[in-house]
A and B are shown apart, each in its own frame.
Chain A
Amino acid sequence: MALQENIVKIVSHPHLSPKQKSNYLALEAENSLPYVTVSESTSHAMKDGIICDMFEGHAPFKPRYVLPDYAKYLKQGSEYLELSPAEDFDDALNALIILYHHVPSVTNIPVFLGHVDTLLMPFVSGLDADVIYRKLKRFWIMLDRTLPDAFMHVNIGPTDNIICRTLLRIDVELQQIAPNLTFMYDPGVTPDDLLLLATTNICLCNKPHIANYPLHADTFDERGFGIVSCYNALPLAGGANTLVRLNLKQVALKATSIDDFFQQTLPHYCQLTFELIEARSAFLHQKSHFFDSFLVKEQLIDESRFAPMFGIYGMAEAVNILQALSATDPIAKVNSTKGVSSYGNGYGHNLAANQLGLKISAALDKIVTSTPVTYGYNGRALLHSQSGISLDKGVTPGVRIPYGTEPDPISHIQALAKHHQYYTAGISDILSIDETVKSNPQAMLQLCKGALSLGFREFTANVANNDLVRVTGYMVKRSDIETFKHCGSRTNTTGLAAEAAINTGILQRQARVIAHEQSPFVYE
Chain B
Amino acid sequence: MSKHAIVSQILPFSCVDGPGSRLVIFLQGCNYQCKNCHNPQTISLCDTCGDCVDHCPEQALTLIATQEIDLKQKTHIVWNSTLCIECDTCLTVCPTKSSPKISHYSVEQMLTVISSQHHFINGITVSGGEASLQLPFVIDLFKAIKLSESLSHLSCMIDTNGSLSTSGWHKLLPYLDGAMVDLKAWQQTTHHYITGRDNQAVFNTIALLAQHNKLYEVRLLHIPGITDYDVEIDALATYLAKLPSDTRIKLNAFHHHGVGDIASTWPQCTQADIESLATLLSQRGVTNIALPALYL
Contact = CB atoms under 8 A, between A and B. Distances in A.
Interface string A212-226: 000000000000000
Given A450-B119, A454-B119, A439 B20 contact: no
Interface in B106-124: 116-117, 119-122
B16 interface: yes
A411 B12 contact: yes
A446 B20 contact: yes
Nearest to A411: B12
Given A408-B12, A410-B13, A447-B13, A439 B290 contact: yes
- Which of A413, A438, A440, A449 has most B Cβ within 10 Å? A440
Contact of B293 (A436, A446, A451): A436
Contacts of B290: 439
Contact of A344 (B13, B16, B82, B122): B82
Interface residues of A, number: 26
A410 B117 contact: yes
B293 A435 contact: yes
Contacts of A414: 116
A442 B19 contact: yes
A440 B294 contact: no
A270 B259 CA distance: 56
Q: Main SS of the interface on chain A?
A: helix
A444 B122 CA distance: 11
Contacts of A46: none
A519 to B, nearest CB: 36
Nearest to B290: A439
A449 B119 contact: yes
Given A435-B294, A437-B15, A446 B82 contact: no
A187 interface: no
Given A409-B13, A443-B20, A446-B20, A436 B120 contact: no
Interface string B1-35: 00000000001111110011110000000000000
A442 B20 contact: yes
Listed residue (B20, B21, B22, B85) with the most chain A CB atoms within 10 angstroms of its CB? B21
A369 B64 CA distance: 55
Contacts of A434: 15
A503 interface: no
A453 interface: yes
Given A344-B82, A436-B293, A436-B294, A443 B15 contact: yes
B120 A410 contact: yes
A454 B118 CA distance: 11
B66 to A, nearest CB: 27
Contacts of B117: 410
A442 B17 CA distance: 13
Interface in B189-227: none
A430 to B, nearest CB: 16
Interface in A411-457: 411, 413-414, 433-440, 442-447, 449-451, 453-454
A413 B19 contact: no
A436 B16 contact: yes
Q: Specify which of B16, B19, B22, B116 lies most central, judged by the most chain A CB atoms within 10 Å of its CB.
A: B16
A442 B117 CA distance: 16
Interface string B274-296: 00000000000000001101100
Contacts of A344: 82, 85
Contacts of A454: 119
B293 A413 contact: no
B120 A447 contact: yes
B127 to A, nearest CB: 14
Complex A-B, nearest 8 residue pairs according to Cβ-Cβ distance, in ascending order: A450-B120, A443-B21, A450-B119, A440-B15, A442-B20, A443-B15, A436-B293, A437-B15
11 contacts: A409-B13, A411-B12, A435-B293, A436-B16, A436-B294, A438-B293, A438-B294, A439-B16, A439-B293, A443-B14, A450-B120
Given A438-B294, A443-B21, A444-B21, 14 more contacts: A344-B85, A409-B120, A433-B15, A435-B293, A436-B14, A436-B293, A436-B294, A442-B122, A443-B14, A443-B15, A443-B122, A446-B120, A451-B120, A453-B119
